[in-house]
Amino acid sequence: MTTDSTAGYASIADQLAVQYESIGFEEVHGQILHLIPPEGRALDIGAGTGRDAAALARRGFRVTAAEPTTEMAAHGQRLHAGLDITWTDDALPHLPLLSARGGTYDLIMLTAVWMHLDAAERAAAMPVVAALLVDGGRLAMTLRHGPVPPGRRMFDVSADEVIAAAQPYGLVLLYRGTRGDMLSRGGVHWDILMLEKR
């Protein structure tokens, strides 16, 4: 499933796979590890190479990894074979395959994904994501800020915008933080959010 939001990923999937897998889940999400449920069903949207999906599977989650870039998903399926991960070719803003299945999740991960969506796509995606969470379920999100790599599509999306957009769908803020870039890319920094559905 090719979308505008995934532009530029297929052609450099091999390079990105090495980058993504070079940093551990615990490093990337250290600020919110204490807020991740102990087990349940997890959905990793824009799963890339499956680093987060694999870490959650090792923690005992039953994981669905949604990745629309075939080349990235292929790396994930190879690198993390044997873990309890179901891969699906689905994408925001509508996640048509997952929405049609009607399942819900205790945890949804949106790691370095949301800023690829334009304003209209973000508005369409928020209720879709919220509907996939159980009551009490949690949504983890990281937002990249800084220079946009050539050939890729990104927007500067503030944490305040996300928090405000999530509120009408029953998603309330549990944690908000910032960090630098773990790959030492110049001018890049990140917002980290954890929200809960109530």
- What pLDDT score does 61 carry? 98
For residue 162, the enclosing domain spans 4-197
The tokens of 27 are what? 């490093």
In this structure, is the dihedral angle defined by the CA atoms of residues 38, 39, 45 and 46, taken in order, positive or negative?
positive
d(CA 138, CA 196): 4
pLDDT (average), residues 13-31: 77
Q: How confident is the model at residue 184 (pLDDT cuts 50, 70, 90)?
A: confident
Number of domains present in the structure of the chain: 1
- What pLDDT score does 16 carry? 60
- In the chain, % of residues over pLDDT 70: 89
Specify the CATH number for the domain of residue 106.
Answer: 3.40.50.150
pLDDT per position as a tens digit, 126-176: 999 999 999 999 999 999 999 998 888 999 999 999 999 999 999 999 999
Q: How confident is the model at residue 24 (pLDDT cuts 50, 70, 90)?
A: confident
Cis peptide before 168 (omega within 30 of 0): no
- What pLDDT score does 69 carry? 82
pLDDT (average), residues 15-25: 71
φ/ψ of residue 90, rounded to 5: -140, 155
pLDDT (average), residues 93-97: 97
Task: Outline where DSSP puts E strands in the chain.
Answer: 41-45, 62-66, 85-88, 105-111, 133-145, 171-180, 189-197
Lowest-pLDDT range of 20-29, 78-87, 95-104, 162-171: 20-29
Q: Which residues contact 91 (CB under 8 A, 6 or more apart)?
A: 1, 3, 5, 6, 46, 66, 68
**Nearest Cα to Cα of residue 111 among 194, 168, 41:** 194
pLDDT per position as a tens digit, 30-77: 999 999 999 999 999 999 999 999 999 999 999 999 999 888 889 899
Q: Model-level pTM greater than 0.95?
A: no
